[in-house]
């Protein structure tokens, strides 16, 4: 890291900074410029944090060279992480095709949707049993009964499943059923939840908070990685914008940005990003073209009856058309879509 001193820093203050750096077991390299004096810190930067140094009198700012998300950073691991979700690979040239209804509603509906999306090329089935709703009066999900339905239907159609966990106290329960945890946008900074899923060894789909920066997202991933769970897939699902024409603002630049900063796979969710079936296909393709490792799309066979997010659901035939376009784009980009022959089952 580089410590930039204030123009009026005294000699005593400069010496004090050098002494502190050396006390911490690192070497200090003083460089006096015409306008500014800076101190280069040489050694293992991870041993010190910048905050106490910023508090030393005479210090203007501390510029870290390594990002604070150490394990998630590209510096820590230049080759891409490939996450295996019960046999389906995500990252390193493998695309996730996650699809399903917003909420698990009942077994018949889940079964019909799963059959249709599987035939269209989806490789992971989604559905929420615990729904984070803005209103406490809105449909909250089926709970454990929904997990059972999702598991049963996923097994029947040979698709691994992903479902949201909102509460650290429910991680154990959701773990028993799912192949991949989803941590939703509203819980991206629920640090207790991140720690709890980090202590498991099941993949985690970590969605970007609607007001979170890419750095915030990577810091949240770091919480999971630092607990020993290295199977994290990031998800760009739109951030708050000012234009109510779309539900959120699809930040497609976050895809190549994350790729430049981290080895973790990143997928896009144009359903929540746009909230509009007419815009979802273009944004899904844009995400894949920008380098995303997959797409996450809500599909319902009767959106008008959906208990959650019906207006943004694609119909199975619309999904099938989009999926065939993604397959063609994937081929053009030299990427593959892995399917799992049989669900590896719960571990
Ligand atoms: C969802 O996937 O249904 C969901 C609630 O997503 P998000 O957390 O991105 O809003
Ligand atoms: Mn939804």
For the chain of 347 residues, list the mean pLDDT of each consecutive stretch of 10.
93 94 90 90 80 91 90 96 98 98 98 98 98 96 98 97 98 98 98 98 98 98 97 98 98 98 98 98 98 98 98 98 98 91 50
Nearest CA to ligand 1 atom 6: 184
What contacts 24+ positions apart, CB below 8 Å, involve 237-244? 237/185, 237/207, 237/208, 237/210, 237/268, 237/269, 237/272, 237/273, 237/296, 238/210, 238/269, 238/272, 238/273, 238/274, 239/208, 239/210, 239/211, 239/212, 240/210, 240/211
Residue 346 is predicted with a pLDDT of 46
pLDDT of 343: 53
Q: Provide the pLDDT for residue 326.
A: 98
Instruction: Provide the token pair at 6.
Output: 């204030």
> Given the CA of residue 208, which atom of ligand 1 is nearest to it?
9
Neighbours of ion ligand 2 (CB under 5 A): 102, 309
The finding on whether 207 has its CB within 6 A of some atom of ligand 1 is yes
Q: Are 35 and 7 in contact (CB under 8 A)?
A: yes
Sign of CA dihedral 67, 68, 73, 77: positive
Task: Report yes or no: 183 and 165 within 8 Å, Cβ to Cβ.
Answer: yes
| Euclidean distance between CA atoms 143 and 177, whole angstroms | 12
Q: Give the phi and the psi of residue 298 in degrees, each rounded to 5.
A: -85, 130
Cβ–ligand 1 contact at 185 (below 6 Å):
yes
Per-residue pLDDT at 42: 87
The two most distant CA atoms of the chain are separated, in Å, by 76
Q: Residue 273's pLDDT is what?
A: 98
| pLDDT attached to residue 344 | 46
- The first and second tokens of residue 308, run together, are 């959650």
Tokens standing for 251?
A: 């930040």
Give CA–CA dist 287/280, Å, rounded.
Answer: 10
Q: Is the Cβ atom of 43 under 6 angstroms away from ligand 1?
A: no
pLDDT at residue 338, rounded to an integer: 83
Answer yes or no: are the C-beta atoms of 78 and 282 closer than 8 Å.
no
DSSP string for 142-181: -THHHHHHHHHHHHHHT--EEEE---GGGHHHHHHH-SEE
d(CA 185, ligand 1 centre) in Å: 6
Give the ligand 1 atom nearest the CA of 207.
9
């Amino acid at each position: 890291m580089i410590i930039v001193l204030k123009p009026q820093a005294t000699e005593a203050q400069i010496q004090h900074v050098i002494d502190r750096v050396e006390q911490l077991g690192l070497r200090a390299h003083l460089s006096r410029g015409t306008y500014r004096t800076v101190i280069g810190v040489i050694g293992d930067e991870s041993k010190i944090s910048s905050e106490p140094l910023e508090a030393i009198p005479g210090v203007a700012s501390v510029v870290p060279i390594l990002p604070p998300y150490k394990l998630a950073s590209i510096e820590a691991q230049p080759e891409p992480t490939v996450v295996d979700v019960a046999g389906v690979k995500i990252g390193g040239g493998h695309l996730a095709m996650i699809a399903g209804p917003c909420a698990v509603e009942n077994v018949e509906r889940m079964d019909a949707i799963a059959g249709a999306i599987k035939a269209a090329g989806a490789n992971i089935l989604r559905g929420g049993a615990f729904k984070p709703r803005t209103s406490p009066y809105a449909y909250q999900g089926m709970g454990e009964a929904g997990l059972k339905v999702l598991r049963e239907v996923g097994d029947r159609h040979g698709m691994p499943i992903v479902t949201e966990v909102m509460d650290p106290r429910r991680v154990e329960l959701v773990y028993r059923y799912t192949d991949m945890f989803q941590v939703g946008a509203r819980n991206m900074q629920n640090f207790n939840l991140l720690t709890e899923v980090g202590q498991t060894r099941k993949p985690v789909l970590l969605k970007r908070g609607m007001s979170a920066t890419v750095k915030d997202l990577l810091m949240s991933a770091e919480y999971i990685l630092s607990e020993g769970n290295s199977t994290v897939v990031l998800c760009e699902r739109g951030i708050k914008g000012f234009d109510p024409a779309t539900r959120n603002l699809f930040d497609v630049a976050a895809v190549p940005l994350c790729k430049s900063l981290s080895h973790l796979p990143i997928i896009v969710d144009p359903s929540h990003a746009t909230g509009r079936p007419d815009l979802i296909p273009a944004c899904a393709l844009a995400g894949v073209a920008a380098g995303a490792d997959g797409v996450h799309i809500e599909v319902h066979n009767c959106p008008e009856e959906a208990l959650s997010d019906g207006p943004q659901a694609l119909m199975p035939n619309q999904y099938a058309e989009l999926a065939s376009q993604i397959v063609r784009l994937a081929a053009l980009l030299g990427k593959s879509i892995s399917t799992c022959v049989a669900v590896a089952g719960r571990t």
